Amino acid sequence: MAKTLNGEIIQIHVGQAGVQIANACWELYCIEHGINSNGCLCQIPKDDSYKTFFALSQSMKVVPRLVLVDSEPTVIDEIRTGWYRNLFHPDSLINGKDDCGSNFARGYHTIGMELIDFTMDRIRKLAEVCDNLRGFLMFRAIGGGTGSGFGNLLFEQFQMDFGKMPKMEYIVFPSPSMAPLIIESYNALLSTHLGMDISDCSFIMDNEALYDICTRKLDVKSPTYTNINRIIAQVVSSFTAPQRFYGSSNISFGEFQTNLVPYPRIHFPLVSYAPLSCLAKSCYDENSINQLTLQCFDPSNHLVRCSPAQGKYMACVLLYRGDISTGDINASMRTLDSITSGRFVEWSPTGFKTATNSMPPSFVQGGDLAATNRAVTALTNNTAIEKAWCRLIIKFNKLFKRRAFIHHFLTEGMEESSLTEASENICSLIRDYQEVNKL
């Protein structure tokens, strides 16, 4: 059997949102690699593609290369007693006893400090058994306390322990009009500020855009986190497919940063996926390569509320999987060139990078998405994302000018200057995008 295609990737799921996303992601990974809920291979594998995300134990049981961590036990306990309770290594399920109270400072300074040593010890053990570790992929929400605070504490420790090893993340960004937490702007700004120079690439999504996809495209009247997390899982599956399956033109883990991040600070690409259709509508859809590619540039297919037409593209990576032909991709690129003409920065007039993979997408039985034999994921770095940061700054300023809720952070070991510095840094990030937009 050949060596693992692109080496191993360790996934870290932090906080309630991150752990719930894990349930959906590993449900789909198991389907794709023919692994049952007990961690047993349902058949002799044709290759070693599963080894990117799974290790093989002495008892021939496959074990996910991941760590799930939360400051309190509720969500982790759902994993321990759920359908996949026998899949995950018990030491990879880590929780504290106290909730972070949706407070960055508790996750970063107090509660987080109680969890960091044990968590890093487990991550180091996972890294030690890898033959060719390629990097880390983290999942978290930056509006809450654990995802923002403890997530950043982890990233800082990664920087010390693993140096320049690629560190990428999928982050749930505060939604424009859905705000479950009053202080989420504080948490999000602090998290982004302190992680700016550590994370190599942060793919953003928000619950509002995901809820819209569920209700308008998938006919789910009252979406739950399970519904939206399965959409995220499908996107992440396509994102990681080049790392697991052989393809005629794959892209390595480190190449995502190389192709998407022109400047270190501007590392927040938009994510879109096609097709997004339910079973009742799928029989009417064409789903040609050209149609799927165009759908990825439709704002309604983006996982974050944003209008790319209001900005300029700096780079774009298109990931094709399934029944794909090079000729069809070339034709869709010509169509894209005409549509996006003038919408790329001048120094990157042809900023498309494509990767193809013959492995078709898999689907959860009884899920919302209709099964298809091909799919496209677009990762685009567009200056329009500055609008999302502007919305966050406006929310922050409304609270901060009245010093509202600041005492919750100060009593956990933070200083008011940290919030000021975070605000200034994000304002500087907005100016960076504006300068690029003028080029």
Q: What is the pLDDT of residue 3?
A: 40
SS3 376: strand
Are 397 and 380 members of one domain? Answer: no
**Collapsing DSSP states into helix, strand and coil, what is residue 401?**
coil
Write a three-state SS string for 10-55.
EEEEEHHHHHHHHHHHHHHHHHHHCECCCCCECCCCCCCHHHHCEE
**Within a domain: residue 355?**
yes
Same domain, 377 and 393: no
Q: What per-residue confidence (pLDDT) applies to 19?
A: 97
Query: What's the whole-number mean pLDDT along residues 124-141?
Result: 95
* Domain at 403, CATH number: 1.10.287.600
* 313 domain-assigned: yes
**Residue 1: pLDDT over 60:** no
Position 257 in a domain: no
**Same domain assignment for residues 294 and 198:** no
Same domain, 308 and 182: no
Q: Which of 224-238, 286-300, 349-363 has the lowest mean pLDDT?
A: 349-363
Domain check: are 275 and 377 in the same one? yes
Distance of CA 340 to the CA centre of its chain: 25
265 falls within a domain: no
| 279 and 197 in a common domain | no
Q: Are residues 123 and 29 in the same domain?
A: yes
Residue 45's contacts (CB-CB under 8 Å, 6 or more residues apart) are 33, 34
Q: Do residues 235 and 342 share a domain?
A: no
Same domain, 137 and 235: yes
Query: How many separate domains does the chain show?
Result: 3
Whether residue 253 lies inside any domain: the answer is no
* Residue 350's CATH number: 3.30.1330.20
The pLDDT value given to residue 282: 79
229: confidence class by pLDDT, cuts 50, 70, 90: very high
Q: What is the enclosing helix (H) or strand (E) of 317?
A: strand 313-322
**What CA–CA distance (Å, rounded) separates 64 from 69?**
14
Report the CATH number that the domain containing residue 56 is assigned in CATH.
3.40.50.1440
**Judgement on whether residues 82 and 143 belong to the same structural domain of the protein:** yes
Residue span of the structural domain in which 422 resides: 388-438
- 264 domain residue, yes or no: no
* Residue 232 is assigned to a structural domain of this protein: yes
pLDDT digits (tens, 9 = 90+) for 411-436: 998 999 999 999 999 999 999 999 99
pLDDT of residue 44: 78
Better-scored residue on pLDDT, 229 or 351: 229
pLDDT at 35 over 90: yes
- 343 shares a domain with 418: no
Environment class of 264 (CB within 10 Å of its CB; exposed 0-12, middle 13-18, buried 19+): exposed
Please state, rounded to an integer, the average pLDDT across all residues of the chain: 92
Confidence of residue 281 (pLDDT cuts 50, 70, 90): confident
* Residue-wise pLDDT tens digits, 289-314: 999 999 999 999 999 998 898 999 99
pLDDT of 344 > 50? The answer is: yes
pLDDT of residue 2: 37
Positions marked catalytic: 255
Kindly report the pTM of this predicted structure. 0.95
pLDDT greater than 60 at residue 5: no
- Do 197 and 287 belong to one domain? no
Assign 195 to helix, strand or coil. helix
